[in-house]
Amino acid sequence: MNAPNTAPIGRIIETDADVEQGMAWLAQRCPRMAHAYTLTGPLPLRRKPDGFAELLSAIVGQQVSVASAHAIWGRMSDAGLTTPQSCAAATEDQLRALGLSRQKIRYTFELARADIDFDALRTAPNADVIKTLVAVPGIGPWTAEVYAMFSLGRADVFASGDLALQEAARSLYDLPDRPKEAAFRKMAEDWSPWRSVAARLLWAYYAYLKNKEGIS
**How far apart, in whole angstroms, are the C-alpha atoms of residue 49 and residue 100?**
22
pLDDT at 187 over 70: yes
- Please compute Rg for the chain using Cα positions: 18
Confidence at residue 3, expressed as pLDDT on a 0 to 100 scale = 44
Alpha carbons within 13 angstroms on the beta-carbon side of residue 13 total 32
Closest-CA residue to 60 (of 45, 79, 43, 41): 79
Q: Say whether pLDDT at 2 is over 90.
A: no
3 within 8 A of 123, measured Cβ to Cβ: no
pTM assigned to the model: 0.91
Mean pLDDT over all residues of the chain?
Answer: 94
What number is the average pLDDT over the span 156-177? 97
Predicted confidence band at 215 (pLDDT cuts at 50, 70, 90)?
A: low
Among candidate residues 145, 151, 119, 132, the one with its CA nearest the CA of residue 54:
151
Residue 154's DSSP bridge partners are 12
| pLDDT number for residue 58 | 95
| Contact assessment for residue 71 and residue 99, using Cβ atoms and an 8 Å cutoff | yes
Whether 68 shows a pLDDT value over 80: the answer reads: yes
Q: What does the pLDDT look like over 83-132, one tens digit per residue?
A: 999 999 999 999 999 999 999 999 999 999 999 999 999 999 999 999 99
For residues 180 and 214, the answer to whether their CB atoms sit within 8 Å is no
Please give the pLDDT value at position 7: 55
Structure confidence at residue 5 (pLDDT): 42
Specify the pLDDT at position 4.
43
